[in-house]
Amino acid sequence: MSTTYLIRNARILGGDAADILVEDGRITEVGAGLSADGAEIVDGEGLVALPGLVDLHTHLREPGREDAETVDTGTQAAALGGFTAVHAMANTDPVADTAGVVEQVWRLGREAGHCDVFPVGAVTVGLQGERLAELGAMADSAARVRVFSDDGKCVSDAVLMRRALEYVKAFDGVVAQHAQEPRLTEDAQMNEGELSGRLGLRGWPAVAEEAIIARDCLLAAHVDSRLHVCHVSTAGSVEIVRWAKSKGWNVTAEACPHHLLLTDEKALTYDPIYKVNPPLRSAADVEALRAGLADGTIDVVATDHAPHPHEDKDCEWQAAAFGMLGLETALSIVQATMVDTGLLDWAGVAERMSTKPAEIGRLSGHGRPLAAGEPANIVLYDAGATRVVDPTETASLSRNTPYAGMELPGRVVATFLRGKPTVLDGKLA
Ligand SMILES: NC(=O)N[C@@H](CC(=O)O)C(=O)O
Ligand SMILES: [Zn+2]
Ligand SMILES: [Zn+2]
């Protein structure tokens, strides 16, 4: 028998306070003044209750870079951030391009038990962009892969991209594209603009992202398949996705917390903690991303949690790795940029960080409403709290958070995965 929990007086999706009764992994009742014999009481007073968050874009680094992150440590960070499911990107070593590797990652996630892990399958063998990987075998494996991506690299060959889009239709899959025209971004280091010129760093033009997104929207429409666009970072990209949606095409898109908050001005520090792919962009781009996320053009927030050990980040800008941590701070950054600014309410956050990402990943047990009969995947969040980010406190094996020393709003108090607490009182349970 699993423990029964009675969450008292939590504000469901930030609305009215109610009690939530959790028994045998499910929510069995939601209402006022509930009682249950022998239940553990969890005080939800003043806390927002959201469905467990779902990340469409996490790098867990295992197998191959267990010095940067493991499935165990990465999913601890996920649970602490309020996530009950993450999609683990395929750019591991070996690459997750076979049924064997995706099953290994999936199994490691189950054994760790902090959060469900859904492996993303590579689109091409070894992320080499030359031959399609065994997409069908990964889809049919125990890992049930539905999201395919060469993330870290763009599937730049239009014929391969078309074939991948056609192929995944057989199992209702989706191709998640890292949209970056390779020739236009050779040795690119930061956003192309006035600043890159001033700093003498090779620029990364917006058109390199936008050209691929436009092409892929057209390809997805042409073969009537599903396209997902990873880490949209420019105002022009938002416009293109808006246009594709207006045509009724099956295109979804994500934005990352760091692109909703930080700008390329950070490069002035020459601190590679701010080096990320795609790069931090202009203030106008940040504003367009927020507007796009608010009006639904951008469907979801995805973290692109990208751990790197200090030797890959503590070096000069040109030599440093691209990427930043994101799981433990995502909800706070979304609160700061979208909720506290009045652009989204908590129901809107739940849609973009739980319901929609679960839908895109075709996960049936996540992103469900907080209602009787549903799996008890729940996060309790104290939006009134503040905290100063201390990189030494992260559960991640890496420390490359761009928010070190910043005061952020909000704190995850508890996370429940199928009725079992993975986090209680803000600590791993
Ligand atoms: N985002 C990053 O800057 N880096 C990612 C790759 C990626 O998401 O493209 C990584 O794997 O480190
Ligand atoms: Zn990427
Ligand atoms: Zn990524």
424: CATH: 2.30.40.10
Same domain for 293 and 395, yes or no, is no
368 assigned to some structural domain: no
171 assigned to some structural domain: yes
Query: Is there an atom of ligand 1 within 6 Å of 402 CB?
Result: no
> What ipTM does the predicted assembly reach?
0.99
pTM for the whole structure? 0.98
- Coil, strand or helix: which one is 351? helix
pLDDT value of position 1? 61
Query: Is there an atom of ligand 1 within 6 Å of 59 CB?
Result: yes
∠ at Cα 123 (323, 219), nearest 5°?
100
330 assigned to some structural domain: yes
Domain boundary among 311, 331, 360: 360
Number of domains observed in the structure of the chain: 2
pLDDT value of position 41? 98
Same domain for 142 and 69, yes or no, is yes
Query: Is there an atom of ligand 1 within 6 Å of 317 CB?
Result: no
Range of the domain at 388: 5-48+373-428
Same domain for 43 and 129, yes or no, is no
Q: 241-257: per-residue pLDDT in tens? A: 999 999 999 999 999 99
Same domain for 78 and 44, yes or no, is no
Q: 222-247: per-residue pLDDT in tens? A: 999 999 999 999 999 999 999 999 99
The mean per-residue pLDDT over the stretch 337-357 comes to 98
Same domain for 28 and 107, yes or no, is no
Tell me the pLDDT of the chain averaged across its residues: 98
17 assigned to some structural domain: yes
Given the residues 304, 340, 345, 390, select the one marked as catalytic: 304
- Coil, strand or helix: which one is 178? coil
Same domain for 77 and 170, yes or no, is yes
Same domain for 259 and 112, yes or no, is yes
Q: Which atom of ligand 1 is nearest to the CA of 89?
A: 11
d(CA 32, ligand 2 centre) in Å: 45
Same domain for 290 and 414, yes or no, is no
What SS3 string covers 264-332? HHHHHHCCHHHCCCCCCCCHHHHHHHHHHHHHCCCCEECCCECCCCHHHHCCCHHHCCCCECCCCCHHH
* Closest to 217 (Cα-Cα) out of 168, 252, 185, 255: 252
Same domain for 248 and 327, yes or no, is yes
d(CA 343, ligand 1 centre) in Å: 28
Question: Is 304 marked active-site?
Answer: yes
pLDDT value of position 2? 80
SS3 content of the chain, % helix, strand, coil (to 5): 35, 25, 40
Query: Is there an atom of ligand 1 within 6 Å of 65 CB?
Result: no
pLDDT value of position 193? 96
Cα radius of gyration (the chain): 21
d(CA 12, ligand 3 centre) in Å: 31
